[in-house]
């Protein structure tokens, strides 16, 4: 199958209603085009795998969609709202959350405190509210603790019992679970997962992916874009894949189709 044929795959055309629409998305760093007029659609409730060789633009795409980088050109719409120029700290209010390849937990804080940081966009309590309406603040905190415990329990019942223990006491897989729970507690429409298997064994990766899919089922139409170097994981959990190379989309479709595409194989292997 050629790259063009993979892009025209009927599975892609039959995707659910679009949640994320990127048109002509470009990011330039000096003379380097990290993303080059990229068009990507993600259907509501879809799990999209974003793959490509090192330096292909995957992390840049995550960073521009999540407001870390500004787009040089093009547009990004999430659930019909233009978020192209939105600041990273405001995107949770639009329903977007992400994780990072390297852990960003505040290790001295408790598991609960780390997860609660992901819910700032939906909390009613500001500074003055917290100072003068302590009862309402306490009620909100109890509700948040119950939600955090429930999310953790889906991943690991034993982890839910560690809600108020310091994050530094956790192993790698539990820290990753907490980071994902922090992204989910804000009730996002779209979650960007950046290399969730980084630093974990193959068995831990399989276990974590099963848990993520279980959470997705329990949350209904949660949409996920996942960047991952473990192709077995991508094959198992995604509905569709987009392949990038040098900042451009070279192929999209079901994993088995893009994996067999000669253009994709050349991009990864350097040969036909």
- Average confidence (pLDDT) over 21-30: 95
Verify that 170 and 193 share a domain, yes or no: no
User: How does the average pLDDT of the chain come out, rounded?
Assistant: 85
Q: Is 269 exposed, middle or buried (0-12, 13-18, 19+ CB in 10 A)?
A: exposed
- Higher per-residue pLDDT: 85 or 89: 85
Query: Within a domain: residue 29?
Result: yes
The span from the CA of 88 to the CA of 35, in Å, is 19
DSSP for 17-65?
SEEEEEEEEEEEETTEEEEEEEEEEEETT-EEEEE-STTSSHHHHHHHH
Sequence-distant (≥ 6) Cβ neighbours of residue 262 within 8 angstroms: 2, 3, 272
User: Could you identify the residue written with the tokens 């949640």?
Assistant: 19
- Average confidence (pLDDT) over 106-115: 93
Residue 220 has pLDDT above 80, yes or no: no
Verify that 68 and 21 share a domain, yes or no: yes
User: 118-132, 138-152, 196-210: which range is least confident on average?
Assistant: 118-132
Verify that 1 and 82 share a domain, yes or no: yes
Query: Within a domain: residue 100?
Result: no
Quick: pLDDT tens for 221-252: 789 999 988 888 899 889 999 999 999 999 99
Verify that 112 and 74 share a domain, yes or no: no
Q: How many CB atoms lie under 10 A from the CB of residue 248? A: 15
Sequence-distant (≥ 6) Cβ neighbours of residue 53 within 8 angstroms: 245, 267, 268
User: 55-69, 115-129, 191-205, 243-257: which range is least confident on average?
Assistant: 115-129
Verify that 80 and 145 share a domain, yes or no: no
Query: Within a domain: residue 101?
Result: no
Query: Within a domain: residue 224?
Result: yes
* Domain region containing 88: 1-95+188-272
Residue 1 has pLDDT above 60, yes or no: no
Verify that 203 and 214 share a domain, yes or no: yes
Predicted local confidence at residue 90, as pLDDT: 87
Predicted local confidence at residue 233, as pLDDT: 87
Residue 129 has pLDDT above 80, yes or no: no
- Average confidence (pLDDT) over 207-231: 85
Quote the number of domains for the chain: 2
- Tokens standing for residue 87: 């600041």
Residue 169 has pLDDT above 60, yes or no: yes
Q: Identify the domain boundary among 125, 153, 185.
A: 185
Residue 8 has pLDDT above 50, yes or no: no
Predicted local confidence at residue 203, as pLDDT: 87
- Higher per-residue pLDDT: 201 or 43: 43
Predicted local confidence at residue 124, as pLDDT: 52
- pLDDT band (50, 70, 90) for residue 14: very low
Verify that 91 and 3 share a domain, yes or no: yes
DSSP classification of residue 241: E
Verify that 4 and 59 share a domain, yes or no: yes
Verify that 169 and 252 share a domain, yes or no: no
User: 11-25, 26-40, 145-159, 185-199: which range is least confident on average?
Assistant: 11-25
Q: Identify the domain boundary among 163, 185, 207.
A: 185
Q: Identify the domain boundary among 161, 185, 209.
A: 185
- Higher per-residue pLDDT: 179 or 131: 179
Quick: pLDDT tens for 33-77: 999 999 999 999 999 999 999 999 999 999 999 999 999 999 999
Predicted local confidence at residue 156, as pLDDT: 87
The answer to whether the beta carbons of residues 103 and 50 sit under 8 Å apart is no
- Higher per-residue pLDDT: 205 or 123: 205
Query: What CATH number should be reported for the domain holding residue 84?
Result: 3.40.50.300
Verify that 114 and 85 share a domain, yes or no: no
Verify that 87 and 213 share a domain, yes or no: yes
């Amino acid at each position: 199958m050629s790259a063009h044929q993979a892009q025209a795959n009927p599975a892609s055309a039959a995707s659910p209603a679009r949640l994320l629409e990127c048109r002509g998305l470009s990011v330039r760093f000096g003379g380097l085009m990290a993303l080059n007029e990229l068009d990507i659609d993600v259907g509501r409730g879809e799990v999209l795998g974003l793959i490509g060789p090192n330096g292909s633009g995957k992390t840049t795409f995550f960073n521009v969609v999540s407001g870390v980088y500004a787009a040089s050109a093009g547009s990004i719409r999430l659930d019909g709202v233009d978020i192209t120029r939105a600041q990273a700290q405001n995107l949770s209010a639009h329903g977007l959350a992400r994780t990072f390849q390297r852990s960003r937990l505040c290790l001295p804080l408790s598991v609960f405190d780390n997860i609660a940081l992901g819910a700032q966009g939906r909390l009613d309590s500001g500074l003055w509210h917290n100072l003068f309406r302590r009862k309402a603040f306490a009620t909100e905190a109890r509700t948040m603790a119950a939600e955090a415990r429930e999310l953790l329990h889906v991943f690991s019942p034993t982890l839910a019992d560690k809600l108020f223990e310091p994050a530094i006491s956790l192993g790698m897989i539990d820290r990753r679970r907490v980071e994902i729970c922090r992204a989910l507690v804000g009730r996002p429409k779209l979650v960007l997962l950046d290399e969730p298997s980084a630093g974990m064994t193959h068995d831990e990766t399989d276990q974590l992916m099963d848990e993520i899919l279980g959470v997705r089922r329990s949350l209904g139409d949660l949409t996920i874009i996942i960047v991952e170097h473990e192709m077995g994981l991508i094959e198992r959990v995604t509905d569709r894949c987009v392949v990038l190379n040098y900042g451009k989309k070279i192929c999209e479709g079901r994993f088995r189709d893009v994996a067999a595409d000669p253009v994709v194989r050349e991009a990864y292997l350097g040969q036909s």
